[in-house]
Structure 1
Amino acid sequence: MHGPDGPVGLLPLAREAVARARRTVRSRGPAAVTAKGDRDLVTDVDLAVEEEVRSFLARETPEIGLLGEEHGLSGAPAGPRWVLDPIDGTANFARGIPLCAVSLGLITGGRSVLAVIDHPFLGAVYTAVQGGGAHADGAPIRVSSETDPARAAVAIGDFARGEGAAERNRVRLALMDRLGGRVQRLRMFGAAAIDLAWTASGRIDAAVILANLPWDTSAGALLVREAGGLVLDADGSEHTADSAATIAVAPGLRGMLLDELGRARAAG
């Protein structure tokens, strides 16, 4: 892997790649918004950011491939790869809502080993390296120590779209119904990289994302783990690239959240 120190040695490059993306996102609003599926969209800024980051990382780390949301896999087909979401929360960004993020992770051996998440309009950059803890703007962060559901804030990921969406959304609706009567607040921020970064930093106590797209979750999952949190599949097993869901939770709320999710899945 590029650099003598593995992922630690690549962190400055990852930070620079995301800083370039941040400047592009902040410098211009979307001039073109294009549909790319059922109620899904992409802007010209998403495309510009991905092209810029691809070019930079291909030049600096040619031995590492890159998987991006908009253009798929390029570069080395095997071995470590960067995983990029140029703008997570595109629907928010396109409407001028500042809840969006640039998410860049590095996967090697099937596991996330490096993460940089930038919230361009919220003034925060989150970083993590496997075994090195999680940080926000250079300061260490930890997940919540909450154990009482009545004091917990839980983020729910976006509703499913496309074929089979109604079936998949029944579980989301059942879960929201169950949690709505137990937790202090439910929130839907519209960007997995925000859900996961805020779980890692203790702003919220859990995030339930009933999907697992690598560009959405790879960086954030590492942040949560390195901040002392749990990242699980819907059945409570350890979260992997092959998981069907991404459940990030403070350890003290694991039992409650998995119990309610299990009941919602049975009802849905």
Structure 2
Amino acid sequence: MTDLRSLLGVAGAALDQASTLVTDMAVGAVQAKGDRDMVSEIDFAVEEHVRTFLQKETPEIGFLGEESGGAGAGGALTWALDPVDGTANLVNGIPLCGVSLGLIADNRSVLGVIDLPFLGQRYRAAEGHGAYCGDDRIWPRETTSLNEAIVAIGDYAVGERAQERNARRLDLTARLAESVLRVRMFGSAAVDLVWVASGKIDCSIALSNHPWDMAAGAAIAREAGAVLMDVDGTPHDLTSAATIAVSSALGDALLELLTGI
């Protein structure tokens, strides 16, 4: 049986070092990574450091990083890392970014640690053990009506087929604008998901599902008590087309609003 408590400690130790790199390093050179996308020297440094640390501490677990792809063991467990979730925010001095490390078992995220270094916040969860910010247990808000809800949405698409993909996102934005209290775009899936988990916002909707972006935040939000689902309402896993985290009382109303997106 996998000892998730022990692995949570390993993940926390990896992010202790990663967070220090993010706050202490200069951003350095920023490279284009396709259309209107970018990667910084900090992204590369954090990924290299965390990958090396995890391969030493947990050689039996595979590794998937946003910048370097997959490496290591090919077993049932895989670490998934976004070294800087919100790179565009980081390079422009916006403090909404984080290091996001999740553990995937059979396409389901079962553990997550997210550090928001410029906000001084560390979120963590392991399946069956609760979700925390620092030493405090966290839960979603109990908002019962969409017109009282604050909803975060993912970034608009860039790159191949951006116009086509953004038609869905613009449709989503319009529907939300007519129905909810406020729509927000923070520019980091990690921020969106942990803020649902801790009750700062009521819902996060991302019409994407890259494992390095979502694995850690999905584990934290689910363990806190949020509903994690695909856009059609089926339970979320790493094969889903979208990543939606919402407080349980709003789930049905949100699904009705999303019909046909």
TM-score in terms of structure 2 length:
0.97
Q: Map residues 213-232 of structure 1 onto 2, 5 A cutoff.
A: 213-232=210-229
Secondary structure class of the residue paired with 1:202: coil
Deviation for aligned residue 1:81: 1.0
Residues 1:212 and 2:206 aligned together: no
Please name the residue that 2:126 is paired with: 129
- Unaligned stretches of 5+ residues in structure 1: none
| Deviation readout 1:155-176 (Å, 9 max, x if unpaired) | 0001111211111111111111
User: Hey, what's the Cα distance between the residues in 2 that align with 1:102 and 1:184?
Assistant: 29
Secondary structure, aligned partner of 1:215: helix
How far 1:230 moved relative to its partner? Answer: 0.4
**Residue 198 (1) aligns with residue 195 (2):** yes
5+ residue gaps, structure 2, are: none
Q: Residues 29-44 of structure 1: matches in 2 within 5 Å?
A: 29-44=26-41
Q: What residue is the counterpart of 1:245 in the other structure?
A: 242
In the alignment, residue 67 of structure 2 is paired with which amino acid?
E
Moved over 3 A (4+): none
What RMSD over aligned residues (CA atoms) do the two structures have, in Å? 1.1
Residue aligned with 2:179, SS? coil
2:47 to 27, 46, 50: 50
1:183-205 deviations in Å (ceiling 9; x for gaps): 11110000000000000001000
Residue 149 of structure 1 aligns with which residue?
146
The aligned residue for residue 21 of structure 2 is 24
Q: Give 2:59's aligned amino acid.
A: P
Q: Alpha-carbon deviations, 1:104-137, whole Å to 9, x = none?
A: 0111222211110000101110000001111000
**Whole-angstrom distance in 1 between the partners of 2:216 and 2:49:** 19
Alignment of 1:73-152 (within 5 A): 73-152=70-149
Q: Name the structure 1 match of 2:257.
A: 260
- CA displacement at 1:232 relative to structure 2: 0.5
Q: Helix, strand or coil: the match of 1:37?
A: coil
TM-score normalized by structure 1?
0.95
The equivalent residue for 2:169 is 172
